[in-house]
Amino acid sequence: MSLRYCATLNLPVSVWREEGLLVGIKWVNLITEKIVLMEKIGDAIKELKEFREIKNSETLSRKSNLTQGYISKILSNKQKPNLVSLKKIADALEVPMWLILLRSESIEAED
């Protein structure tokens, strides 16, 4: 098993070879599972959006190249982003993905 860097997600990933094939990406799976469990990820994104002075979901939609309807559902906690969408949102907000996850955990702990 070795640790590699996934440039697409800007994350280290743990991989191993089996019969000459690249088999596992543990970090991606762990983060995906974490997103599924987070109930307040939209609130965390909304806070960071306001902190970055992005006034509306249309601007975030344009910067992240995601539809405005999808962004609105995420911000209202009606839908959770997949890993690639979360990465696009983090890039649009100019923050690392882990900051969104950490803030989401903090908000949930406050409730």
Burial (CB count <10 Å: 0-12, 13-18, 19+), residue 62: middle
**How many structural domains is the chain composed of?**
1
Q: In this structure, what token pair is assigned to residue 89?
A: 């949102």
Q: Please write the tens of the pLDDT for every residue from 16-28.
A: 444 444 444 455 5
Looking at per-residue pLDDT, the higher value among 22 and 5 belongs to 5
Range of the domain at 12: 2-110
Burial (CB count <10 Å: 0-12, 13-18, 19+), residue 54: middle
Neighbours of 94 (CB within 10 A): 9
Q: How far is CA 101 from the centre of its chain?
A: 7
Categorize the per-residue pLDDT at 89 as very low, low, confident or very high, splitting at 50, 70 and 90: very high
Q: Please write the tens of the pLDDT for every residue from 20-79.
A: 444 444 555 556 666 656 788 899 999 999 999 998 889 999 999 999 999 999 999 999
Task: Please tell me the predicted confidence (pLDDT) of residue 22.
Answer: 42
Secondary structure letter of residue 39 according to DSSP: S
Q: What is the C-alpha separation between 18 and 20, in angstroms, rounded? A: 5
CATH number of the domain at 35, please: 1.10.260.40
Bridge partner residues of 21 (DSSP) = 18
Query: Are 44 and 103 within 8 A, CB to CB?
Result: yes
